[in-house]
Amino acid sequence: MSAPDFILETRGLERRFGGVRAVAGVDFKLERGELRCLIGPNGAGKSTFFKMLTGQMRPTSGQILFEGREIGGAQAHEIGRLGIGIKNQVPDVFDGLRVRENLWLAARFGHPAPRADVVVTAVLERLKLTSISDRIVAELAHGQRQWVEIAMVVVREPKIILLDEPSAGMSAEETSRTAELIREVNRTATIVVVEHDMVFIRQIAKKVTVFHQGRILREAEVEQIMRDPVVRDIYLGKQAAA
Amino acid sequence: MGFRSMTVRIDEMTRTAEPPRWWWWAAIIAVTIMLMLLPSYLKISQINGISKLFPLGLLAVSMGFMWGFAGMLSFGQTSFFGLGGYIYAVLSLYSGETSWPLIAAILLPMLFALLLGYFMIYGRISDIYFSVVTLVVTLILEKAIRSTSGDQYTVLGVRLNGQNGIPTVPSLQLPVEFKTELHAIFYLAAGVLVLVYVGLRLLLTTKFGRALAGIRENPRRMELLGYDVRRYRLGVFVLCSGIAALAGVLRAVWGNYVGPQMFDLNQAGQVVIWVIVGGRTTLLGPIVGAGGVQYLAAWLGTQAVGQISLILGLVLMLVVLVFSQGLLPSLGIAFAYARDHLILRRKI
């Protein structure tokens, strides 16, 4: 068997705020092609961890390696150019423009014009957004706007996509559509999802990393995590156990 | 909410990122033919009156394009309008030629815009300061020109004449013969306006034009996507300054005169009013606004009503309150409404 191909790795990653170790020496490994969920209670450090991975926050110490290259402390736009796609929690789109134009602007940087058109059309179809491609983004529902932004990440053909709470504020129906969409995207890209919603995580259902007090508490398949008494205790509470 | 959906309706009609359809080209050709035929049906005084509107329409477009499509409100496009006129006046009087002074009168103001824009845009001053600085620059230029009334203020041997401006600005020497000099100016100014209009419309379909729309909507997102927003903003500022300078040359040629009022607050404010009245979200709006407001002002002047400014002010208030998008976009909304609710329903 060949050695695992780690696309993203952190070594002793740490971020301190004053005396608080929000992320306290995390060793994290992600294989190419994975769909990994990061979960944890509020203040577990997962958001801080996410911000460091995406270049929105500098680590106090430790390393972040993307395909073996150190990227800790790189600027957000540099990280984008390396092939890392980022979607923050709040939709950040071009409200006054059409869906297709939103995607085109994302695709055109780095692609010549004819190629951008092809990529945009392909992604619209793949993510089943063709029916709304002519709509103005401001007119869309919250969930649709989030999908548009995920599509804007996908048209740039990143190797890895980092998503922060993609299902936040969505209805149950929108949430399962989002899960479907993420699984589809996962066929061509490695994905990391920071998420709160256990229903959503069950729908994506792959490997889960549980953060607690700035460290990794558990790392296992989703069913195993659900059964784990320690995880239940600190995070999931009674609702998921029921 | 109602207004928001109205905004959306007009966007739906314009589709500026896509190449214009056949009917747009047909309309351009029809307007061009109409403009070519028009002078034969008009009195000399009418040709003169209309010729004056073309440079002003061009000036309005140079402001409206930046505001409506790139989200940059320049209060001082008159800086470049005046500079274009003055540079052309001085160089053509100095050399006795008109072709290279025309080119210089466009390029030098663009160079000035490059410098001024570099400090404003790369210095990342906020939107409101961009408006304020551009306004202040045009007022400084006005004051500077007004204070050049003595004999000692000459450039290349041409007296600037302070308040009085420079008369006897030479007309452009054109390769084609026209019936009268007035016809020549009419065709020249109308032709330039149509060409600039078509050029800007096509520019909107390019990567540059589409990126401008993205910058207007969400500049921070554009930066995250990798676009250098500052370069695009500087580019459009320099381009529109060139258009304003060209308008200034045409204005100078039309009256064979340049004066400090080309830069003044009244003129600068009028440009903004034209664009607001006509509607900044369309390319045609500023042109119609400039023509309409100027025509109205001239007509009021002949009606002996006295307070022209007061009436124009009321018109502006009415437009802002009732047609918040400007006249042309409001017409577009009315058209779309009629199409959806009257015609389509009948078909069903």
What tens digit of pLDDT does each residue of B39-75 get?
889 888 888 889 999 999 999 999 999 998 888 999 9
User: From CA B63, how far away is CA B277, in angstroms rounded?
Assistant: 13
Residue at B1 is within a domain: no
Q: Does the CB of A139 have a partner CB in chain B at under 8 Å?
A: yes
Give the 3-state secondary structure of residue B153: coil
Task: Please tell me the distance in Å from A54's CA to the nearest CA on chain B.
Answer: 12
Q: Please answer yes or no on whether B224 and A76 come within 8 Å at the CB atom.
A: yes
Q: Which of A97, A108, A109 sits opposite B217 (nearest CB)?
A: A97
Return the pLDDT at B4.
43
B9 band by pLDDT with thresholds 50, 70 and 90: very low
Under an 8 A CB cutoff, do B214 and A97 touch? yes
> B279 near B289, Cβ under 8 Å?
yes
C-beta atoms of A81 and B7 within 8 A: no
In a domain, B320, yes or no: no
pLDDT at B40: 87
pLDDT tens, B20-40? 888 889 999 999 999 999 988
What's the pLDDT at B333? 78
Q: Smallest CA–CA separation between B12 and chain A, in Å? A: 8
Nearest CA in chain B to A82: B226
Strand partners, A215: A212
Angle A211-A215-A221 from CA coordinates, rounded to 5°: 45
Whether B226 and A81 lie within 8 Å, measured CB to CB: yes
Contact between A104 and B224 using a beta-carbon 8 Å cutoff: no
- Any domain includes B150: yes
A17 has pLDDT over 60: yes
Task: Give residue-wise pLDDT tens across range A185-198.
Answer: 999 999 999 987 88
| CB contacts < 8 A (A, B) | 57
| B164 inside domain | yes
**What distance lies between CA B264 and its chain's CA centroid?**
16
Q: How far apart are CA B312 and CA B292, in angstroms?
A: 11
State whether B7 and A96 contact (CB < 8 Å).
yes
Mean per-residue pLDDT for A84-93?
A: 87
Read off the pLDDT of residues B129-165 as tens digits, 9 standing for 90 and up.
999 999 999 999 999 999 988 888 888 888 888 888 8
User: In this structure, what token pair is assigned to residue A238?
Assistant: 């009674």
* Tokens read off for A87: 């979607």
| pLDDT tens sequence across A77-87 | 778 788 888 88
pTM, full prediction: 0.85
Comparing A162-171, B21-30, B209-218, B296-305, the range with the smallest average pLDDT is: B296-305
Q: Which residue of A78, A105, A139, A152 to mutate against B (max B Cβ within 10 Å)?
A: A105
Structural domain range at position B71: 21-264
DSSP class per residue in chain A: -PPP-EEEEEEEEEEEETTEEEEEEEEEEEETT-EEEEE-STTSSHHHHHHHHTTSS--SEEEEEETTEE-TT--HHHHHHTTEEEE-SS----TTSBHHHHHHHHHHTTS-HHHHHHHHHHHHHHTT-GGGTTSBGGGS-HHHHHHHHHHHHHTT--SEEEEE-TTTT--HHHHHHHHHHHHHHHTTSEEEEE---HHHHHHH-SEEEEEETTEEEEEEEHHHHHH-HHHIIIIIHHHHH-
Q: How confident is the model at residue A220 (pLDDT cuts 50, 70, 90)?
A: confident
Report the mean per-residue pLDDT for chain B: 87
- Residues B226-262 have pLDDT tens digits of 888 899 999 999 999 999 999 999 999 998 999 999 9
Among residues B265, B197, B240, the alpha carbon closest in space to that of B54 is found at B197
pLDDT in tens, A162-179: 999 888 888 888 898 999
Which among A80, A81, A105 is the nearest to B210, CB-wise? A105
Task: Report the distance separating Cα B108 and Cα B3, nearest Å.
Answer: 42
- Using CB atoms, which residue from B12, B218, B225 is nearest to A136? B12
Asked if the Cβ–Cβ distance from A96 to B214 is below 8 Å, we say no
- Whether residue B218 and residue A92 make contact (CB cut-off 8 A), yes or no, is yes
Sequence-distant (≥ 6) Cβ neighbours of residue B31 within 8 angstroms: B194
Name the token pair of A109: 């940087």
The pLDDT assigned to B313 comes to 85
Q: State the pLDDT at residue A36.
A: 92
How far is it, in rounded angstroms, from Cα B207 to Cα B231? 13
Is the per-residue pLDDT at A236 higher than 60? no
Let me know if residue B118 belongs to a domain.
yes
> How far A88 CA lies from chain B's nearest CA (Å)?
12
Residue at B311 is within a domain: no
Q: Which of A94, A110, A136 minimises the CB distance to B214? A: A94
Identify the band that residue B203 occupies on the pLDDT scale cut at 50, 70 and 90.
Answer: very high
Nearest CA in chain A to B12: A136
Residue A238, pLDDT score: 46
Q: Is B126 helix (H, G, I), strand (E, B) or coil?
A: coil
Q: What is the pLDDT of residue A1?
A: 52
DSSP B148: -
pLDDT at residue number B46: 87
Number of domains in chain B: 1
| Mean pLDDT rounded to a whole number for chain A | 86
Tell me, what's the pLDDT at B348?
Answer: 41
B10 pLDDT higher than 70? no
- Report chain A residues whose CB lies below 8 A from the CB of B217: 94-97
In a domain, residue B13? The reply is no
Residue B269 within any structural domain of the chain: no
Query: What is the mean predicted confidence (pLDDT) over B313-320?
Result: 85
pLDDT of residue B280: 85
Q: B224–A95: do the CB atoms touch at under 8 Å?
A: no
The pLDDT, as a whole number, for residue B141 is 94
Mean pLDDT of B115-124: 92
